[in-house]
Amino acid sequence: MATAKMTRRERLRRCYFHEQLDRPGVYCRTGFPENDPTYDTLKACLSAHTELKGHWSSQSVESATPTELLKEPYSEDFERHIFIIHTPAGDLRASWLVSLRGQPGLQNSYFLKTAEDARKYLSLPMPELSGDVSAFFKADQEMGDCGIVEVHIGFNPAGMVAELFGSEGFAAMSVTDREALHQLCERQMNMTLRRLNHVLSRGAGPYFTMAGEEYLVPPLHGPRDFYDFNVRYDKPIIDLIHDAGGRVHIHCHGSIKKVIQGFVDMGTDVLHPFEPPPLGDITPAEAKAVARGKICLEGNIQIADMYERTPEQMREQTVELIEATFDDSSGLIVCPSASPYIRGWGERCFPQFKAMIDTVLKWSHRP
């Protein structure tokens, strides 16, 4: 039986709640290069024809950790920024190289390096919470029937701790002092639960999004670490949201084939971008076999293909994705793996984006 045509808001709701669709969703992340008019045509097309997602950060209700900033010369191209956290147990320092010529920067040292640093961080008091979530409701009202507004949780507990150590530092600590990592993850989980209780009690939701799980996927970590650090600390967070009637989107790059069952077990509702080789290791059919009826797949068009392939190739790739994952008329949002990113190339990638979008929009008219 044919499914009636839906609004973009209703279509996304059905994606997140695992219900039947009139066609796949189609979406693109919107972290465009700043002040780049070459993307104006693409932005207008996305706004008019794709499912839209607005964003509100739950961290806006949480006080930030007080941090001191020092700046010092580094080279002709970079300045070093040193951030200092003054904890009750001692100072912690991290540094970034910030470009003086408008280029990307680079973090070159991390706040945590040893178990002693972990103890210093654990001495910090819990952040304070404030009550105002009105910006969420304003954004949701402005979105209307064009889409949904997601509440950003931020990094998951293990992802936040990996940000503090760096991915290599976290991996080393998982061998030399695993208990310190567990203490840090538990603290971060409890902070997140406090914050979510605060925003849930004030009516924010029902769509939430979280990231950071990609720090714990192969090849740097295996399934044991994924379950011990991601599933263990993410599941209570997701359970809280589910108990309140909400749904959770998780963003995770990388090779997830060996750990995709972990996303099911923690309760993920939407998973982006389930990347195929060479940047990932899972095909759409393999992902669907695990996710069917449990997770809505959001992906898996590699963003580089939008700049390197032809419109016809993107049409073919989109058709192959839909045929592999949409046989049950549910559980798919066609989406590139990341935001458009190459400055000045907006007009060059537009035909490929349009080919992807048009293929999805016309899918409901297929016999």
For domain 8-64+127-365, the CATH class is alpha beta
Whether the pLDDT of residue 367 is over 80: the answer is no
Those residues whose C-beta lies under 8 Å from the C-beta of residue 14, and which sit 6 or more positions away, are 6, 20, 21, 330
pLDDT at residue 35 tops 70: yes
- Name residues whose C-beta falls within 8 Å of residue 175's C-beta, 6 or more positions apart in sequence: none
For 320, the 3-state DSSP assignment is: helix
Instruction: Transcribe 234-254 into DSSP letters.
Output: HHHHHHHHHHTT-EEEEEE-S
Predicted TM-score of the model (pTM): 0.95
Q: What is the three-class DSSP state of 91? A: strand
pLDDT at position 185 is 98
According to DSSP, residue 100 is labeled S
Q: How far apart are CA 356 and CA 310, in angstroms?
A: 11
Query: What is the per-residue pLDDT for 48?
Result: 98
The pLDDT confidence band at residue 3, using thresholds 50, 70 and 90, is: low
Please write the tens of the pLDDT for every residue from 180-193.
Answer: 999 999 999 999 99
Residue 40, pLDDT > 70, answer: yes
Sheet with 247-252, side-by-side order of all strands: 25-26, 332-336, 296-301, 270-273, 247-252, 207-211, 147-155, 52-57
Q: What is the pLDDT of residues 270-315, one digit of tens each?
A: 999 999 999 999 999 999 999 999 999 999 999 999 999 999 999 9
Q: Confidence band (pLDDT; 50, 70, 90) for 366?
A: low
Mean pLDDT of all residues in the chain? 96
| Whole-number pLDDT of residue 214 | 97
* Average pLDDT over every residue of 314-339: 97
Q: Return the SS3 of 336.
A: strand
- Which pLDDT value is given to residue 5? 83
Please say if the pLDDT value at position 59 is more than 80.
yes
Residue type, 79: E
pLDDT per residue as tens digits for the range 206-231: 999 999 999 999 999 999 999 999 99
Terminal C-alpha separation, the chain: 12
Return all residues near 151 (Cβ < 8 A) that are at least 6 apart: 56, 57, 58, 136, 199, 204, 205, 207, 208, 209
* Position 1 pLDDT exceeds 50: no
Q: Where are the alpha helices (DSSP H) in the chain?
A: 8-16, 40-49, 115-122, 134-143, 157-165, 167-176, 178-200, 223-225, 232-243, 260-266, 284-291, 305-308, 311-325, 346-361
What does the pLDDT average to over 48-56? 97
Residue predicted with more confidence, 6 or 1: 6
Residue 2 has pLDDT above 50, yes or no: no
Side by side, the strands of the sheet bearing 106-109 are: 67-73, 78-87, 90-99, 106-109
pLDDT digits 0-9 by tens, 87-141: 999 999 999 999 998 788 899 999 999 999 999 999 999 999 987 899 999 999 9
Q: What single-letter amino acid sits at 329?
A: S
